[in-house]
């Protein structure tokens, strides 16, 4: 294990972990102390949910604990289906930033990665991390879901260290990495994304780069529909209540959070970053793949992805 995760990158405070022995390469599962959650917004505390006995969808506040359970459970259950549906598009060792198909090999949003120590958050099956390794980087891939991380362990793939942990409580020492990145991972799925920004700032070295892609905030005013029905604005852009799917007991099973462009920029600045670019990939000619709400019809009219590129000040 020491060869994969050098001890100097660990947090100094005592932490315990368990190794999933059935995997080819160990996954380190960190048992972090329950953090004190700092709410950096004025959102109200979640209200009790009426139990109807039927699963459903709503927009409502959730607690940090509800959010964590829902995210880990959802991605554990959905890992196989997700890889079956999207694995060919994402590749074995390729860094795809978004459903529009923008690749890091073409965009160079991370700069020169050779010799850099990189952390990928919300890595899923770690295709992006494997690509970074082929480019000469030293990479650690992190995800909350063990189900997703198991897909990174298929024999024959580029080996790399994997860590199972919460992006809002990174188990690494300060100033450990040169670059932190994620393509649609972690940021929209945590209750307090401002805390993620602060954690990323902490583990980056001075001048380090933080690049992440998320669903473009304007997409939240439309239905999650790739057809013409998804071209009509039906939601307020300023409704920051998370999208929640819940089971028959009213327990959240999937949670995703909306922030406006201004919210994201303020989170970055408050954490100590300087925003150096905001990329809105255009839908490329000849790209006909539909991925959830992303489609050629919608993609040619308005952006579906926002990529925030920032530097540690």
Which CATH code, of 3.20.20.10, 3.40.50.150, 3.90.1560.10, 3.30.1960.10, is assigned to 19-31+55-312?
Answer: 3.40.50.150
Q: What is the mean pLDDT of residues 33-41?
A: 36
Tokens (6 digits) for 304: 């579906």
At residue 19, the pLDDT reads 33
Residue 45 has pLDDT above 90, yes or no: no
Tokens (6 digits) for 124: 């899923």
At residue 196, the pLDDT reads 98
For the stretch 259-310, pLDDT in tens is 999 999 999 999 999 999 999 999 999 988 888 888 999 999 999 999 999 9
Tokens (6 digits) for 56: 């459903």
Residue 147 has pLDDT above 50, yes or no: yes
Residue ranges of the domains in the chain? 19-31+55-312
> pLDDT band at residue 92, thresholds of 50, 70 and 90?
confident
At residue 182, the pLDDT reads 98
At residue 40, the pLDDT reads 37
Q: How would you classify residue 36: left for phi > 0, otherwise alpha for psi between -120 and 50, otherwise beta?
A: beta
Residue 10 has pLDDT above 70, yes or no: no
Residue 29 has pLDDT above 80, yes or no: no
The greatest distance separating any two alpha carbons of the chain, rounded to the nearest whole angstrom, comes to 55
- DSSP per residue over 69-127, as a string? HHHHHHHHHHHHHHHHHHHHHH-SS--B-STT--BHHHH-TT---TT-EEEESS-TT-H
Distance (Å) of CA 88 to CA 84, 92, 94, 125: 8, 8, 10, 12
The closest alpha carbon to 125, from 166, 82, 64, belongs to: 82
Are 170 and 102 in contact by the 8 Å Cβ rule? The answer is no
For the stretch 64-79, pLDDT in tens is 999 999 999 999 999 9
> pLDDT band at residue 11, thresholds of 50, 70 and 90?
low
Tokens (6 digits) for 148: 């997703």
* Total-model pTM: 0.85
């Amino acid at each position: 294990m020491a060869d994969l995760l050098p001890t100097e990158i660990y947090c100094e405070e005592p932490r315990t972990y368990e190794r999933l022995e059935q995997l080819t390469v160990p996954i380190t599962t960190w048992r972090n102390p329950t953090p004190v959650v700092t709410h950096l917004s004025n959102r109200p505390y979640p209200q009790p949910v009426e139990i109807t006995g039927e699963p459903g969808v709503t927009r409502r506040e959730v607690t940090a604990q509800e959010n964590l359970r829902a995210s880990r459970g959802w991605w554990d259950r959905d890992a196989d289906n997700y890889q079956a549906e999207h694995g060919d598009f994402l590749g074995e060792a390729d860094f795809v930033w978004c459903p529009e198909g923008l690749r890091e090999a073409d965009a160079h949003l991370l700069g020169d990665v050779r010799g850099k120590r990189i952390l990928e958050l919300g890595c899923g099956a770690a295709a992006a991390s494997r690509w970074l390794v082929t480019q000469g980087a030293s990479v650690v891939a992190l995800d909350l879901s063990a189900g997703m991380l198991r897909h990174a362990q298929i024999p024959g793939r580029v080996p790399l260290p994997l860590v199972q942990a919460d992006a809002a409580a990174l188990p690494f020492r300060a100033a450990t990495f040169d670059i932190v990145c994620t393509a649609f991972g972690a940021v929209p799925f945590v209750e307090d994304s401002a805390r993620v920004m602060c954690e990323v700032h902490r583990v980056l070295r001075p001048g380090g780069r933080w690049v992440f892609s998320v669903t473009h905030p304007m997409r939240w005013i439309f239905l999650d529909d790739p057809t013409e029905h998804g071209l009509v604005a039906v939601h307020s852009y300023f409704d920051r209540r998370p999208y929640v799917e819940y089971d028959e007991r009213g327990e959240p099973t999937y949670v995703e959070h909306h922030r406006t462009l201004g919210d994201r920029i303020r989170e970055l600045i408050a954490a100590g970053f300087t925003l150096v670019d905001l990329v809105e990939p255009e839908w490329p000619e000849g790209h006909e793949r539909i991925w959830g709400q992303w489609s050629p019809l919608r993609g040619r009219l308005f952006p579906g992805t926002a990529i925030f590129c920032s530097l540690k000040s």
